[in-house]
Amino acid sequence: PPDVVPQAPEDPLFGLMAAYRADPFDKKVDLGIGAYRDNDAKPWVLPVVKKILRNDPALNHEYLPISGLESFTSAAAKLILGADSPALLEKRAHSIQTISGTGAVHLGALFLKRFYPGQPSVYFSSPTWANHNQIFSNIGIPIQTYPYFSKATKGLDFDGMKQAIAAAPDRSIILLHACAHNPTGVDPTQDQWRELAALLKQKSHFPFFDCAYQGFASGDLARDAWAIRYFVSQGFELCIAQSFAKNFGLYGERAGAFHFVTGPSPDAAKTISRIGSQLQQLQRSEISNPPAYGARIASLILNDATLFAEWEANLREMSGRIISMRQALRARLEELGTPGTWNHITDQIGMFSFTGLSETQVRELRDVAHVYMTKNGRISMAGLNTHNLEYFARAVDRVVRG
Ligand code: PMP
């Protein structure tokens, strides 16, 4: 019958992008999608990536293996775990190339649904990246949340987070953002990560790290991977979804990886081989094999010391511009005397700031000032630049004063 398929709601973020594009106003501001923009609000092809594209030696269009490009996945594993990771030295990690970070979260969820004993729930931070909900509910893993963001301090609700994780049934799956939490820009400190690791250990929970912003949070790749490396050093069995969309500017190329690390044990090599075989079988039926182009670009850069250093400089340029926009926005709102406190804008890190603006204020900013942001008050800091910052600050000042 014609009416069996109901209309699905439009994706809020992609809907926002479409509305922005359709708006003819010349001073419109796009603070919606988490994609880096240069100071002229243009997408930025990283100079090191541009160079690779020009010099691409013998490009062909053959299939990759089911697990993807080995030179890419092995370099991706070193990047996130550290070259001297016990998991790599003891060969108890399995890495597989995925359709960017989304595909890695999906493959991980699918694997856990099939093989994790006891059909546990997954616990997400409240709030989290909206797609986490869709991916895990499509796969049929029950979803619970833990408190994360304190409205009062616009920082971490660490006590609430710990209480919920402590109250979760043993052996639950706990989804953690490795760095630059989306949407809040609020991360635990290293001491808080240590406490969380002890708590997860005590509860035998399974950490599922989502890492979409390595190098974006601090401009330092190792520092942004600290939490994951710490958990691995504590002997956890865990998994990691890794995206190269933001840190290589390869959004549309869908370059990513999924890593499974099993804990140290005499049988670890056999365990990881079985896990790897199942991941490959799932991958074959899901996507057959992953896309080649972005992985080749990332692999060339990750495996060459000179290109790697250039990439790090490009990363520092992006994270540095974002940090300078944070400083400028906070300073301007404070100069204007905009009611409220604005220190959270510089305290928060990574791509986003959770401004604390209400849904009504967000609506008003869009209707009156043509400023586009998600209704939870999140702004993509990379959408700000020296040309539109004053306009945006004044618009915020107006709506906050009401
Ligand atoms: N996880 C989080 C928390 C994200 O913010 C993103 C990007 N918006 C992703 C995963 C994955 O993005 P992609 O599939 O483009 O790599």
Q: What pLDDT score does 2 carry? A: 72
The answer to whether position 51 is within a domain reads: no
ipTM value > 0.90: yes
- The structure's pTM equals 0.96
Q: What pLDDT score does 219 carry?
A: 87
Q: Determine how many CB atoms are found less than 10 A away from the CB of residue 371.
A: 25
Query: CB within 8 A of 309, min separation 6: which ones?
Result: none
pLDDT of the residue at 58 = 65
Q: Is 162 a catalytic site residue?
A: no
Give the pLDDT of residue 155.
Answer: 93
Over 90: is that where the pLDDT of 222 sits? yes
Point out the catalytic residue in the list 157, 246, 311, 342: 246
* 83 CB-contact burial (10 Å; exposed 0-12 / middle 13-18 / buried 19+): exposed
In a domain, 24, yes or no: yes
pLDDT score recorded for residue 348: 94
Average pLDDT over residues 344-357: 94
Q: What is the pLDDT of residues 166-215, one digit of tens each?
A: 999 999 999 999 999 999 999 999 999 999 999 999 999 999 999 999 99
Instruction: Look at strands 352-354 and 378-380 and give their pairing.
Output: antiparallel
Dihedral in degrees, nearest 10, Cα atoms 257, 237, 285, 78: 20
What mean pLDDT is predicted for residues 13-37?
93
pLDDT for 56 equals: 67
Query: Can you give 206-241 as a three-state secondary structure string?
Result: EEEEEECCCCCCCCCHHHHCHHHHHHHHCCCCEEEE
- Using pLDDT thresholds of 50, 70 and 90, give the confidence band for residue 57: low
pLDDT of residue 381: 96
Mean pLDDT to the nearest integer, 21-29 = 96
The reply to whether ligand 1 has any atom less than 6 angstroms from the CB of 247 is no
Asked whether residue 220 falls in the same domain as residue 283, the answer is: yes
Ligand 1 atom 12: residue of nearest CA: 101
Are residues 191 and 284 located together in one domain of the fold? yes
Residues 250 and 110 in one domain: yes
Which whole number is the average pLDDT over 100-107?
A: 98
pLDDT, tens digit (0-9, with 9 covering 90-100), for 118-159: 999 999 999 999 999 999 999 999 999 999 999 999 999 999
Instruction: Report how far ligand 1's centroid is from the alpha carbon of 398 (Å).
Output: 32
Specify whether 77 is located in the same domain as 38.
no
d(CA 116, CA 141): 11
Same domain, 225 and 98: yes
Going by C-alpha positions, the residue among 120, 394, 110, 164 that lies closest to residue 279 is: 110
Q: What is the pLDDT of residues 275-329, one digit of tens each?
A: 999 999 999 999 999 999 999 999 999 999 999 999 999 999 999 999 999 999 9
The model's pLDDT over 237-254, given as tens digits with 9 standing for 90+, comes to 999 999 999 999 999 999
250 lines ligand 1 (CB under 6 A): no
329 in the same domain as 296 = no
Catalytic residue among 28, 30, 44, 129: 129
Residue 227's domain comprises: 70-303
pLDDT band (50, 70, 90) for residue 218: confident
Look at ligand 1, atom 7, and give the residue with the nearest C-alpha: 212
Q: How confident is the model at residue 216 (pLDDT cuts 50, 70, 90)?
A: confident
Alpha-carbon torsion angle 246, 145, 127, 101, nearest 10 = 10
Selected catalytic residue, list 30, 157, 187, 210: 210
Number of domains, the chain: 2
Check: CB of residue 49 under 8 Å from CB of residue 60: no
Query: Phi and psi at residue 370, in whole multiples of 5°?
Result: 60, 35
Assign residue 281 the CATH number of its domain: 3.40.640.10
Q: Is the pLDDT of residue 25 over 80?
A: yes
CA distances 303 to 51, 76, 182, 223, Å, are 15, 10, 29, 20
pLDDT at 60: 81
At position 54, the amino acid (one-letter code) is: R
